[in-house]
Amino acid sequence: MGRTGRGDTTFAAYLSWRMEHDVAEALKFAAALVSIKMETPGPFQGTLGDVYNRIREYHL
């Protein structure tokens, strides 16, 4: 079964981070956040710390 909300989550994460960061950082942030979201059904339930850890872990 697919996951819903991936595009909306990616777009929202990118736009919110892009307001104060450059394009590359906003893309990294969005990719990390949506990769966490994909692990469980439903809306994103993680924290900002989870996203930072994902970026560090995968050297995004």
Q: State the Cα torsion 41-51-47-30 to the nearest 10°.
A: -60
Number of domains in the chain: 1
Q: What is the C-alpha to C-alpha distance for residues 20 and 29, in angstroms, rounded to an integer? A: 12
Query: What band does 5 get if pLDDT is binned at 50, 70 and 90?
Result: confident
Q: Is residue 26, in this structure, part of any structural domain at all?
A: yes
Query: What band does 51 get if pLDDT is binned at 50, 70 and 90?
Result: very high
What pLDDT, on a 0 to 100 scale, did the predictor assign at position 57? 95
Query: pLDDT at residue 13 above 90?
Result: yes
The mean pLDDT of the chain is 92
pTM: 0.87
Q: Is residue 1, in this structure, part of any structural domain at all?
A: no
* Full domain range(s) for residue 37: 6-58
